[in-house]
Structure 1
Amino acid sequence: MSTSTAPLILMALALISSAPAQARERQDWSAGWRFAKGDPAGAPALKPADFKPWLLAGAAPLLATPPAAPPTGPAPGESLTYAQPGFDDAGWRQLDLPHDWGVEGDFDQALPGETGKLPWQGVAWYRKHLAQPAGAAGQRTVLEIDGALANSAVYCNGRLVGGWAYGYTSYQVDLTGCLKPGADNTLAIRLDNPPDSSRWYPGGGLYRHVWLTRTDAVHVPAGQVFVRTPQVTPERATVAVRVAVANESRAPVRVGVTVDIYRADADGHPVGKPLLPSREQPRTLKAGDRTALDFDVRLDKPALWDVSSPQRHVAVTVVKQGGRVLDRVETPFGIRQIAFTADDGFHLNGRRVQLNGVCMHHDLGALGAAFNVRAAERQLGLLREMGVNALRTSHNPPAPELLELTDRMGFLVVDELFDTWTHAKKPNDYHQHFADWSEPDLRAWVRRDRNHPSVILWSIGNEIHELGRPDGPPVAARLAGLVKQEDPSRLVSAAANVVQAGYNGFQKTVDVFGYNYKPKEYAKFHAANPAQPLFGSETASTLSTRGEYVFPVSDDPTQGRAGFQVSSYDLVYPSWATTPDAEFKAQDQQRYVAGEFVWTGFDYLGEPTPYNDDLTNVLNFPEGPERERAREELARLGKIQMPSRSSYFGILDLAGFKKDRFYLYQAHWRPELPMAHILPHWNWPERVGQVTPVHVYTSGDEAELFLNGRSLGRKKKAEGDYRLRWDDVVYEPGELRVVAYKAGKEWARDRVVTTGAAAALQLAADRSTIAADGKDLAFVTATVADAAGQAVPRSKPLLRFAVDGPGEIVATDNGDPTDHTAFKATERRAFNSLALAIVKLKPGATGAVTLKVSSEGLKPAEVVIRAR
């Protein structure tokens, strides 16, 4: 222990030991950790497999067949100085969680673009002291880790007490037996992210929240309140609650258990009185026993959870011994009815709802994998504006707070577990753990997420290699059976990229079949499987870079690429994919398809198709000098270093700025919204007199285009058309204007103009007041404008950001997939007129923060952000 922290810890011990005990105390334990990369010098090499017997023992409650006892003697890592309580970690970096060490690093051109060119691999340690109250001898103390990448091992006072292999699983470690009451205790967590273990940027570290929970020895274990709504009508609903109570004391106890249903506030906490108080159920539990109790509550005229009105309730479970409350657990849930039908898609509360969904990787752009509630809320708000009502958590369980947001905001979720089963996609990926860990991972996943009303479907795998192999159906059937044991109220799916999986028996192992990139297969599948629901689990994969346009414009999807960017005419896609228009048409023609999940809502770190590092992909290059250079480099080295750090798939770019495709989806998914959008911009001095095609995305059914006041014709959408095209427009500077019509009446307008030279900067914050808690964020957009205040679309000056006041710049970005400026940098070039700065206030700040931006030759700008 550092001598500088000892007085504070002893003072905390004195305060805690004198405080009255609570029935259940759960505190965010994410602040004040110490962090260092690597193992101690001279430490023996440790592999993830070395920890397996000890860690699986901790997962025993999630296994139908208990694992073998771990070997006797010291566990791996216990001899390392970093695990020992006496180690002085004062020289380590102090930080708060969630933390992603990879995104803090510099981009490295030698690292693969597939995983974002960031240093996420390797070993790292986190340490923290715990002051255990003197009166805690009869309590349980549990460490809850929402996510740790990866292969985590938890040491308490030098002893290995738990951990987990899969970096996306939330898990608990019981610290009760190793803590010394009335004394200082040390926790150390070792993580190991092996190379070649991910196909995208995974991040590294304790990248989600960590919690410390204290309960009585008689308590409700984690994940052991399960709320279902088996019967729902507008007039009446049945709420069925199953609760497990455990007695981990040394004596039998007589308890009474109640479950009361309340309306919930915005944060999921009970409001007012119980809607219908329950009768207490008495039980006698022997020492070491666990028992389950069932409660059924019938409510009249229930407030239903829906995408348009996400009303929630909360079940409050209370365990008493006599008049003393031993435990109290609040479980938010929603009363709603869901159904996937084979002939009419998805139904919510008795009506058909088209799934207008997107797939989302877990990184948050410039923030990396470190979860932040406000950043996720911002993403969801932008997606809602586009018309999105559903998410697929590709390809792993999300942060718990994301599901809290989807519950509160009214999104539907396909919750996904695995990208790999028994066959590898990468040498060190999850296939190494599947045989031992798939059951505890699956049970932990379902138990954690099954009370969220937003979750409508469990997906047990994405594009797994077993889809076309004989060993696929048995594995799928086993996983689906485990899901049904934990949650019989929802259906099971998987995302299939192999056509034959719809006909070889694999489809019969899941309830709802998901096809990836197979719009032409929908009719054939439905004819062969008329009783099985179907949806597009992954669609489109159209590629584009915000604000980049390549000429000539071609409908050939292999064209439209230049300078490691992809044209934003939204006509480019890889060999397996389609345009958005093709997917729209297939679903409009086939109502039984429940909807789609577009790849992807936002650009994400890694997977920069078509500019991957693997030059077997060289044929994706269009003919020309770039392709020839790639061929020459491939012949010389067998590889080429591509500059791209992030994907081109997103409908919004990595910074959260809208690409043109945003408006194509908005036009289709929000037909009631009057809107029109013109592309491209109209700053092309080198193209005077040349053909420069113009596309219009509109929710109207026809439109007229004007160039400098002259009509270029009025066009009407034919059946299967989702954009209007003027392919023979000859460029001249000035104004391009469109007037859209619906049912013959004017509906919406849009215009683009040739701007002047860049003259000034503008700043706009998404919110002018934020919480002064060190967590809330303001996302500030910097725009390069001309003298008239219009964004200059091709401008890329170097911007300098600075703050005055009690705040800091967390990160900057511009959405350019090839920009290697570190996210922590405060200088960044605008990309096609835009850049982003993410700002937070220091905890407890009371004054305002002023963000300033400047650039040589341009008028500076500033914006004020105040504490709420």
Structure 2
Amino acid sequence: MHKPSALLSAFFALTILAAFSNAQTPSASDSARERVSFNAGWRFVREDPPNVGKSLNYERVKPWLLPCGDDLLNMSPPAALRLPPPAPNPAHLYGRAIDYTTSKFNDSAWRALDLPHDWGIEGPFYQELTGKTAKLPWFGVAWYRKTFDLPATDAGRRIYLELDGAMSYSMVWINGQFAGGWPYGYSSWRVDLTPHIKPGAKNVIAIRLDNPREASRWYPGGGIYRNTWLLKTAPVAIAQWGVFVTTPRVTATSAIVDVAVTLDNKTDARAETKLTTRLYAADANGAPSGSAIATAQPAALNAPALNQAWISQTFTLENPRLWSLGERNRYVAETEITQGGKVIDRVLTPFGIRSIEHTTEGFFLNGKRVPIRGVCMHHDLGALGSALNLRALERQIEILQSFGTNAIRTSHNPPAPELLELCDRMGMLVQVEAFDAWAIGKVRDDYSRLFPDWAEKDLRAMVRRDRNHPSVIQWSIGNEIREQAAPGGWKTAAHLAGVIREEDRTRPVAAGFNVIQSAYNGMMTAVDIVGYNYKPREYAKVRATHPHLLLLGAETASTISTRGVYVFPVSDNKADGLDRQNFQMSSYDLYAPRWATTPDDEWRSHDEVPGVMGEFVWTGFDYLGEPTPYNSDTTNLLNFAGAADRARMEKEMNALDKKRVPSRSSYFGIVDLAGFPKDRYYLYQSHWMPDKPMAHILPHWNWPERIGQVTPVHVYTSGDEAELFLNGKSLGRKKRGQYEYRFRWNDVVYAPGELKVVTYKNGKPWAETTTLTTGGAEKLLLAADRREIRADGRDLSFITVTVADKNGRQVPRSMNKINFSITGPGEIVAVDNGDPTSHAPFQASEREAFNGLALVIVRAKPGATGSFTLRAESETLAPAEIAISANQESRE
């Protein structure tokens, strides 16, 4: 039986969840701080009430939103610049209060749900929508309402609503009064409910979201898609993200730990307090373990009325336990505020002790060179959409690590805070990225609409929230921003880099550049790391002319493929490999858009210029949206081809129905949308895990229509020699040459039977594998990633469905329709198969297999314990069942 991982179990303790934002709720009763999940018991409806019209568009309500987050700025803008001046409620825009915001409104007809929630993933898919954003209805207006009791004992406390992410242009009302909001859908933020909340009574929160239809280049999701919290503090308390732990000197024998604390005084009188900081070793859950290992002397921390105060306390730790990719040791800083001898606030902040260096020789962690073997990841979770789920995130990281990934770039936006907590615990490096656009946009309503007013707030919020994570090693200020080639664009880059450096001097600033001139027009002096997107041949040139620059493959490869699809004849022309009839891509891993490369091209440049720190591959997983080369407009195929191929491809495209391009998810992933490995998974594993004995053969060997025809065979292996056999006959032994990363037998003539490869390393046997021609599809097989889950309605089991022959071997071209049912206290959350052209709903009890595989995601019904059974059935195939055990959730 597979038990829930310790990582996942830790997350379900609310006290640990609260620690993600430096606001963990202490168990001691003498603390005034309380942070509780606010996800349960919401009501939801699409569209505005009929009488509102367009009165709530962003430009009209911006004067009321702009003051939100001013406390993040070094100098808040004067009120005189906010015209018209803010009012308690922007009701005058249409003459009366909005019905949905008032306590009297009856929302019983609205849909009841818990957060996080993504309305877009519920579909349906619309063929007429663009594939760039997945053909899903994520755009538009929606409202969320929640009625809750606030105890009378909360009188005198400050009450905040905290949102880790809501898509987008959020506006919040409490008891009919406007409280604030935040437009950027990827930022974490909070609003102060105190002026209008009613202790000892029922209260109503209403939140309006508005996703412009042309706001994204990929699927962003819709809804309050990350966690929400209700925070209660004393009027004098540690500020939001107000604890910053740094380790300015780290050796194997000692470390200096500096804990900086910002105090927030919301009263109209001077607050005289004392700060005491204690350091603890952290347990596996990131909570204090045992007695304090160091305690600072209490220090006076006095804050003026309606202002802040700042202080730091410094420690020297002997023989520190360092955080690394293999040893994820952490500590906890407990910062305690007392006033008049009474504890008025306490915050627990997990942190790690490690040193990082970015040099022209590479990236170093704790003095050891670590090549960055990273991937870019969008924030959606495949069939689950953008709604945060901890187990789904954990599973993604497990899969990434299984082929050697050690880093993630959060392209192209701040991530969920839980992702960084997972990376701390599981040993992953992270580049946290802020923006996909600055003032010059890429689509009509993207971040360029917000940049002048919100960029500094969003950037400071990102850094303050995430700077205590040892996994975070770099900050990125932007991806392929249009200002690269604009006059004075470097000044904007310098400003943004300066904002980050004001908040955190311990990590370098990077950006993803796709314009070669960016290295020479001032951009390179604005950032610390020159991150190149798809420019591997530039590394040597820049190193020769600017040997001091730090170089990184910020976005690499963009090789495209469909799991289990192979197109013949096989060509080395990267514009080939398109299965235009079925809108798929060949999995020979030789094909990429004209601006992109194969993994082999990128690796060669790294070997030629060894000081490059590493790469972030586009992408780790397939994701919703951006189905290059089959975006909704088939003219995108022209961009896929080079100039020599365009005339031929244009002629072919004229024969296509340009309105019927079905693709809705990407082909870039090393694994597909369902998390199933593509062939490229093994190519990266062979290169990124050189000490792991492994070998992989492609393609599959079920080609009855190709008997007697040339069918090239490729082998991916971490060995340096390989010999291929077809039905026991050697087809030759090959030795890896310089800058060769795969073995190829291009003249193999197909005959059914057995392909076998035997590999060697340093002259000794290393690994071997076989690929067989299978029998026909005869049965279904089920395999769960975890057979035991928590009975909380959130924990998940991911069940792989395999269409197999009588010997249990996957039949690689099978597309059987499969029906699913559950008996017992469980339910199906979503289904998938990794097919980027499928328009079947993810929320269903049936799915066609795609090239022999399908996925079912299940959970226990909330609070229901015991075993439940998933059954899979398909005509002509023997059915299969699997039992999942659900255990009662423990609360710490």
* Structure 1 and Structure 2 fold alike (TM over 0.5): yes
Q: Which amino acid aligns with 1:835?
A: A
Tell me, what secondary structure is at the counterpart of 1:656? coil
Q: Is the 8 A contact 1:137 1:181 kept in 2?
A: yes
Partner residue, 1:220? 238
Q: Does 1:647 align with 2:666?
A: yes
2:496 equivalent to 1:487: no
On the 8 A contact 2:64/2:87 being kept in 1, the answer is: no
Structure 1 position 632, deviation (Å): 5.1
Aligned to 2:780: 761
Deviation (angstroms), 1:633: 6.1
Q: 1:618, 1:631 within 8 Å by CA — same for their partners in 2?
A: no
Q: Structure 2 counterpart of 1:208, which letter?
A: R
Match runs of 1:614-629 below 5 Å: 614-619=633-638, 620=640, 628=651
Q: The residue matched to 2:224 in structure 1 has which SS?
A: coil
Determine the C-alpha separation between the residues in 2 that align with 1:387 and 1:72. Answer: 54
Among 407, 429, 442, the alignment partner of 1:412 is 429
The AA in structure 1 aligned to 2:654 is: R
Q: Deviations over 1:751-801 (max 9, x none)?
A: 110000000000000000011111110000000000111100000000101
> Is 1:403 equivalent to 2:412 in the alignment?
no
Q: 1:631 corresponds to which letter in structure 2?
A: N
Instruction: Name 1:154's counterpart in structure 2.
Output: 172
Q: Is structure 2 residue 260 aligned with structure 1 residue 242?
A: yes
Tell whether 2:479 aligns with 1:462: yes
Offset at residue 51 of structure 1 (A): 2.0
Secondary structure at the counterpart of residue 58 of structure 1: coil
SS at match of 2:444: coil
Q: Which runs of 5+ in 2 are unaligned?
A: 1-27, 888-892
Structure 1 equivalent of residue 758 of structure 2: 739
Which one of 676, 679, 693 corresponds to residue 657 of structure 1? 676
1:133 Cα shift?
1.5
Give me the whole-angstrom Cα distance separating, in 1, the residues matched to 2:270 and 2:592.
65
Aligned amino acid, residue 55 of structure 1: L
Distance in 2, matches of 1:284 and 1:254, equals 4
Q: How far apart are 1:630 and its partner, in Å? A: 2.8
Q: In the TM superposition, what whole-angstrom CA distance separates every residue of 1:464-519 from its partner, at most 9, and x where no partner exists?
A: 00011113101000000000111111110110000000111111100111000001
SS of the residue corresponding to residue 443 of structure 2 reads coil
Q: Compared with structure 1, are the counterparts of its residues 629 and 533 closer, same or farther at alpha carbon in structure 2 (3 Å cutoff)?
A: closer
Note if 1:37 corresponds to 2:37.
no
Residue deviations 1:62-107 (CA, integer Å, cap 9, x gap): 2234233534474158721111111111111111111000001111
Aligned mates of 1:404, 1:346 — CA distance in 2:
22
Deviates more, 1:70-79 or 1:39-48: 70-79
- The answer (yes or no) to whether the contact 1:503–1:528 under 8 Å persists in 2 is no
Q: Which residue, out of 94, 100, 120, partners 2:118?
A: 100
Q: Which of these residues, 192, 198, 201, is aligned with residue 174 of structure 1?
A: 192
Taking structure 1 as the reference length, the TM-score comes to 0.96
Q: Give the alignment of 1:28-177 within 5 angstroms.
A: 28-45=37-54, 46-67=56-77, 68=79, 69=82, 70-72=85-87, 74-75=89-90, 79-177=97-195
Call closer, same or farther: CA 1:578–1:618 in 2, change over 3 Å.
closer
CA contact (8 A) 1:225 1:243 kept: yes
Distance in 2 between residues matched to 1:72 and 1:36, nearest whole Å? 27
In 2: Cα distance, 1:497 partner to 1:408 partner: 33
Deviates more, 1:481-490 or 1:75-84: 75-84
Residue of structure 2 in register with 1:631 after alignment: 654
> Which residue identity lines up with residue 655 of structure 1 in the other structure?
A
Q: Which moved more, 1:65-74 or 1:688-697?
A: 65-74
Output aligned runs, 1:592-603, within 5 Å.
Answer: 592-603=611-622
Aligned partner of 1:16 in structure 2 is: none
- Tell me the matched-pair count: 845
Contact 2:160–2:230 (Cα < 8 Å) also in 1: yes
**Shift of the alpha carbon at 1:252?**
3.5
CA deviation string 1:40-74 (max 9, x = no partner): 12322121122211111122112234233534474
Alignment partner, residue 6 of structure 2 = none
Contact 1:58 1:162 survives alignment (8 Å): yes
Give the superposition deviation at 1:22.
Answer: 4.4
CA–CA distance in structure 2, aligned partners of residues 862 and 264 of structure 1: 41
Amino acid at match of 1:445: M
Moved more, 179-188 or 75-84: 75-84
Looking at structure 2, the residues matched to 331 and 394 of structure 1 have their Cα atoms a distance apart, in angstroms, of: 26
Q: What residue is the counterpart of 2:524 in the other structure?
A: 507
Q: Which residue of 1 aligns with 2:285?
A: 267
**Aligned partners of 2:279, 2:854: CA distance in 1, in Å?**
47
Question: Is contact 1:680–1:694 with CA below 8 Å preserved after alignment?
Answer: yes
The whole-number CA distance in structure 1 between the counterparts of 2:314 and 2:34 is 27
Could you tell me which amino acid in structure 2 is paired with residue 292 of structure 1?
W
**Aligned partners of 1:626, 1:722: CA distance in 2, in Å?**
30
- Do 1:768 and 1:865's aligned partners in 2 also have CA atoms closer than 8 Å? yes
Instruction: Map residues 370-381 of structure 1 onto 2, 5 A cutoff.
Output: 370-381=387-398
2:297 to 262, 279, 287: 279
Same amino acid, percent of matched pairs: 57
Counterpart of 2:321 in structure 1 is: 303
Partner deviation per Cα, 1:198-236 (whole Å, 9 max, x = no partner): 000000000000001111111101111001011000011
The letter of the residue matching 1:64 is: N
Distance 2:637 2:688 in 1: 35
Deviation at 1:129, TM superposition (A): 1.2
Read off the aligned partner of 1:47 and give its amino acid letter. Answer: N
**AA of the residue aligned to 1:263:** A
1:437 aligns with 2:446: no
Q: Distance in 2 between matches of 1:74 and 1:137?
A: 23
* Secondary structure at 2:323 match in 1: coil
Does residue 23 of structure 1 match 2:32?
Answer: yes
**1:843 Cα deviation after fit:** 1.6
- 1:410-449 Cα offsets, whole Å, 9 max, x none, are 1000000000001110011110110000011111111000
For the 8 Å contact 1:533–1:593, the answer to whether it is kept is yes
Structure 1 residue 845 displacement after superposition: 1.4
Inter-partner Cα distance in structure 2 for 1:284 and 1:521: 54
CA distance in 2, matches of 1:725, 1:181: 72
1:288 Cα shift?
2.0
- Secondary structure class of the residue paired with 2:419: helix
- Cα distance in 1 for partners of 2:834, 2:649 equals 23
Q: Deviations over 1:165-210 (max 9, x none)?
A: 1000000111111101111110000000001110000000000000
Q: CA deviation at 1:276?
A: 1.1
Identify the residue that residue 339 of structure 2 maps to in structure 1. Answer: 321
1:543 aligns with 2:560: yes
Q: Considering only aligned residues, what root-mean-square deviation do their CA atoms show, in Å?
A: 1.5
Correspondent of 1:715 among 734, 744, 747: 734
Q: Equivalents in 1 of 2:474, 2:615: separation in Å?
A: 13
SS, match of residue 194 in structure 2: coil
Which range is displaced more, 554-563 or 540-549? 554-563
CA–CA separation in structure 2 for the residues paired with 1:667 and 1:160: 56
Note the alpha carbon deviations across 1:641-671, whole angstroms, 9 max, x for none.
4110100000000000000000000000000
Distance (Å, rounded) in 2 between the aligned partners of 1:212 and 1:683: 57
Residue 733 of structure 1: SS of its match in structure 2? coil
- Farther off after superposition, 811-820 or 239-248: 239-248
2:375–2:615 CA contact under 8 A, matched in 1: yes
2-structure distance, mates of 1:106, 1:601: 26
Contact 2:403 2:688 in 1 (8 A): yes
**Does the 8 Å contact 1:630/1:640 carry over to 2?**
no
